Amino acid sequence: MGLPGLLGRLPGDPELVQPLLALAVALILYAAAWGIARIAAPRLAQALPPLGEALAGHVRAVLRHGLAALLLAAGLALWPIGSLGHLVIGIVLGAAVALATTHILRALAIPRWAVVPLALILFILIVSGSGGGIAPVGEMLDRVGVTLGKRRVTLLGLLSIAATCVALFAAVRLGNRIVGRSIQKAQGFDPTQKLLAQKLAAIAMVVTAFFVGVDLLSIDLTAFAVFSGALGLAIGFGLQKTFGNLIAGIILLMDRSIKPGDVIVVGDSFGWVNKIGVRAVSVLTRDGKEHLIPNENLMTQEVENWSYSDRNVRVRIPVGIGYDSDLKLAQALMLQAAQDSPRVLRSPAPNVWLTGFGESRIEHDILVWISDPEGGVGNVKSDVLGRVWHLFRDHGVTIPYPQRVLHPAPGTGDLPHG
């Protein structure tokens, strides 16, 4: 005897018993999915780390409602169509699908104003289908619309476009997260190659999503043939900087002339490269400011890369001493101050050069090497000069200041006061 026969032999009023029994079955299936998800979610996140990281803590909720939707769909298929119990299970199924969709989209940082309408549409469609009324609902939505020229824009079409766009956007974002985390954990690639692979994969996903969306929405691209010339002209003039920056960013990653972590100087901006984006390079300065420099500027302007082939950077620290000071002692003290500074490298060793005789002082340069230019240069100079000051003061070496001596001309005497 099949399920319809068993339901027909239940004692009591079938109009009341069958919906209650359907609700009990739906709750049991949901509880089973809840228990399975509680056990399987940690194992799934451990077996597929990129997926677990991409969903950012929503794995258990997505698995819970997703499994419930599958079990309820199987129960709905076995329940007699057209009965009130069939509609009850359909309502619970619609809620499960809507909740699963909501958790997936919120995990991907999709805004609520886009998530809630899509989840509501899915719920209505599933409930309407369970009650046998999805076709009338579609017809009603298709009748609501306006005619623009030779085309008719309906509410059903707008909802289909909106739902497709949100779904494709979520799929692209989920794919980018999964592929990005997989590339980050791949062995044998340096950070620059990983970043380049992520950018290329993101571009490929966007292009694929575009053509999939065109196919799903049955958009005839030949209809845009008239506008192709104007569109190409608009892209050529209006978006040339955008595409130029995109291509420049890919070239920078391919030739590896500038990489994340490099210390660069572009114009007045000095700092380390924090991120190479599609449009601009983020340069983080020592004072916490983040400069966004267009990729194209790094291709056309002169750029100082302090860590291109070698992270060691030489720092020049000028120091002057008085003419009456002991020259060898002062140079030894300057060298000692450089060697005592914690960030100064021992190899290459620091050095002291005599660079010239000034108007009131003997000029020197203390030359030191550091291997962490992203830590700043000014603090190294400050530390070395502070040590020089204390050593000079303890050993009697003077640091002169500019002086002017006026000698009156012979025979002029004192100047008259008036």
- Domain stop point among 270, 285, 305: 305
CA distance linking residue 194 with residue 184, whole number of Å:
6
Task: Indicate whether 156 belongs to any domain.
Answer: yes
pLDDT at 238: 60
- Domain stop point among 251, 285, 305: 305
pLDDT at 324: 87
pLDDT at 1: 45
User: H or E segment at 140?
Assistant: helix 134-143
Q: Are residues 33 and 172 in the same domain?
A: yes
Residue 268, beta-bridge partner list: none
Task: Indicate whether 62 belongs to any domain.
Answer: yes
Q: Are residues 300 and 353 in the same domain?
A: no
Q: Are residues 318 and 299 in the same domain?
A: no
Q: Are residues 83 and 164 in the same domain?
A: yes
CATH code assigned at 277: 2.30.30.60
**What tokens appear for 335 in the block?**
């060298």
Task: Please give the residue range of the domain that contains residue 279.
Answer: 243-305
- DSSP state, residue 281: E
CB 107 within 8 A of CB 177: no
Average pLDDT, consecutive stretches of 10 residues, N- to C-terminus, the chain (418 residues): 47 62 85 86 73 71 86 80 76 86 82 80 75 55 66 72 80 82 74 76 84 76 59 62 76 78 80 80 81 83 78 88 90 93 90 89 92 82 93 88 68 53
Q: Are residues 299 and 271 in the same domain?
A: yes
pLDDT at 281: 84
Q: Are residues 169 and 270 in the same domain?
A: no
Q: Are residues 57 and 176 in the same domain?
A: yes
pLDDT at 333: 93
Sequence length of the chain is 418
Please give the tally of structural domains in the chain: 3
Q: Are residues 330 and 301 in the same domain?
A: no
Task: Indicate whether 2 belongs to any domain.
Answer: no
Task: Indicate whether 218 belongs to any domain.
Answer: no
Task: Indicate whether 334 belongs to any domain.
Answer: yes
Q: Are residues 384 and 300 in the same domain?
A: no
**What tokens appear for 247 in the block?**
């291509």
- DSSP state, residue 302: -
Residue 151, beta-bridge partner list: 148
CATH code assigned at 327: 3.30.70.100
CA distance linking residue 196 with residue 125, whole number of Å:
42
Q: Are residues 277 and 163 in the same domain?
A: no
CB 312 within 8 A of CB 348: yes
Task: Indicate whether 5 belongs to any domain.
Answer: no
CA distance linking residue 341 with residue 383, whole number of Å:
7
Number of Cβ atoms within 10 Å of the Cβ of 58: 19
- Domain stop point among 288, 305, 322: 305
Task: Indicate whether 235 belongs to any domain.
Answer: no
* pTM passes above 0.95: no
Number of Cβ atoms within 10 Å of the Cβ of 397: 21
Q: Are residues 73 and 123 in the same domain?
A: yes
Number of Cβ atoms within 10 Å of the Cβ of 355: 14
Q: Are residues 367 and 348 in the same domain?
A: yes
